Amino acid sequence: MKVAVHCIDHPDAIDIRLAHYDEHKAYLAAGKMRTVISGPLLAADGATMIGSLFVFEASSVAEVEAFNAADPFNRSGVWAEISIKQFNLRVDNRE
């Protein structure tokens, strides 16, 4: 199943985010969860990171919840809001 994770940072969390950015990227790259897509959400200026968006391939929502709980951004308090829901991919027209 695919699971979407939508996270919004605490206001003014950019310094915490940047301090844990390399650790966060290494955690995702470790391959414990198959990532379909991921990346930062941006403010209206198109540059300031204000959150995160992921779509994972997983066997359960609980598996993604556990993976997200151990993410360095979550452990360091970057995210103020986290939504984790099953995702039904209907259209992928990149080819």
Domain of 58: which CATH number? 3.30.70.1060
Percent of the chain at pLDDT > 70 equals: 100
In a domain, 43, yes or no: yes
The H-or-E segment that residue 56 falls in is strand 49-57
Residue 71 lies in a domain: yes
pLDDT over threshold 80, residue 4: yes
Dig out the tokens for 4 from the structure.
Answer: 């979407």
Q: How many domains does the chain have?
A: 1
Say if 49 falls within a structural domain. Answer: yes
CA-to-CA distance for 75 and 20, rounded, in angstroms? Answer: 10
Q: What is the pLDDT of residues 22-55, one digit of tens each?
A: 999 999 999 789 999 999 999 999 999 999 999 9
Q: Is residue 92 part of a domain?
A: no
Instruction: Give me the helices (H) in the chain, please.
Output: 14-19, 21-29, 61-69, 72-75
Q: Is 93 within a domain?
A: no
Look up the domain containing 66 and give its range: 2-87
Classify residue 94: in a domain, yes or no: no
Residue with more model confidence, 91 or 4: 4
Judge whether 41 lies within some domain.
yes
